[in-house]
Amino acid sequence: MFLPLLNNREEAVVVWLAIASIFALLNSNIRVAIVSVARAFFARPILIAWGCMAGYVAVVVFVLYAIGYWDLRLTKDTLTWFAGPAMVLFLSQRKAHEDPAYFKNTVMKVLGFTVIIEFAVNLYVFPFLIEMFLVPLSVLIVALLAVSTTNPEFEPSTRLFRSALNVLGLVLLSYTLVMIAFHFSSFATQDTLRAFTLPATLTIAFIPFVYVLTLYSGYEDIFVRAGIWITDNELARYTRRQILLACGFSLGRVRMFMKDYTRKLPTVRSKDDAKRLISEFRGSSESSPGERLSTPSSS
């Protein structure tokens, strides 16, 4: 292992990513696109959000350390979670505006049986050269499967690639089960249990941050539109305050206002118009199904 913190599979991924990056940088068109994406990712608002995210996760990790759950041996797992599931949640939080069950589905996903399988197949890995073969093979199969599902005519190919993926998964799982059987004493430890439960623990603890971030982005969307459509600055500020009081910390209410009421903001020409709009919104939100007024625990 040339990277002490990584196992053979992770090292193989790093090597293939490095190779892909080199080929991408040699292509001028891809290089320009990468620079554009990098500029967008490192824009000031994004950097501030990332800083808040890192600070929040650091506090969560400190709390877990204080109660004796986390130690330095979990550093790699924590960083892997931060760069993977946490970043996916961070970048896809806008989906919470579209899906009332977003947070519930996120929790169910990290507590599902699939997580156990994913942890198991990554617990024991093959020698480096075998992993160097398996990593691109699995990526290729997944890519071909994704392409084949885009056209009903490719249904035979879809079945073939899905079967190949299942076979590969069974091979990895079988290898893991054999290794567990031969090394059960080293497997059945508190360290293994903590490594298994850490991603789910961190994800569940991270949801309040994503909720607040989603709430903020929703308000930002509404307030920007209010500023555009209500030309009187004082009236725009008044309308924003009324919206804030009406929606509060309910993402469901913010979602409902974004969907059904932002298009009515151009009708606001006076404080009476604003009061009338908010009154209509309150009446509609109070008579709507509970799921539209969701919070992290009920979404």
Query: In this predicted model, what pLDDT tens digit does every residue of 38-70 receive, in sequence order?
Result: 777 777 888 888 899 999 999 999 999 999 999
Residue 55 inside a domain? The answer is: yes
Whether residue 94 lies inside any domain: the answer is yes
Taking alpha carbons only, the member of 213, 197, 194, 217 closest to residue 55 is: 213
37 located within any domain: no
Per-residue pLDDT at 292 exceeds 50: no
The pair of structure tokens assigned to 105 is 């589905």
In a domain, 254, yes or no: yes
Average pLDDT of the residues in 224-229: 91
Residue 54 lies in a domain: yes
Please indicate, yes or no, if residue 132 is contained in any of the structural domains: no
Alpha carbon distance 215, 209 (integer Å)? 10
Q: Are 37 and 28 in contact (CB under 8 A)?
A: no
Spatial CB neighbours of 247, under 8 Å, sequence gap ≥ 6: 219, 253, 254, 257
Is residue 199 in some structural domain? yes
Q: What is the pTM of this model?
A: 0.78
- pLDDT for residue 4 is more than 90: no
In a domain, 84, yes or no: yes
Which of 129-138, 150-159, 236-245 is predicted with the least confidence, judged by mean pLDDT? 150-159
Highest mean pLDDT among 88-92, 104-108, 270-274: 270-274
Domain housing 103: 43-116+189-299
In the structure encoding, which two tokens stand for residue 142, read together? 């997944």
pLDDT of residue 64: 96
* Mean per-residue pLDDT over the chain, rounded: 87
Residue 9 burial (10 A CB sphere; 0-12, 13-18, 19+): buried
- The total of structural domains in the chain comes to 1
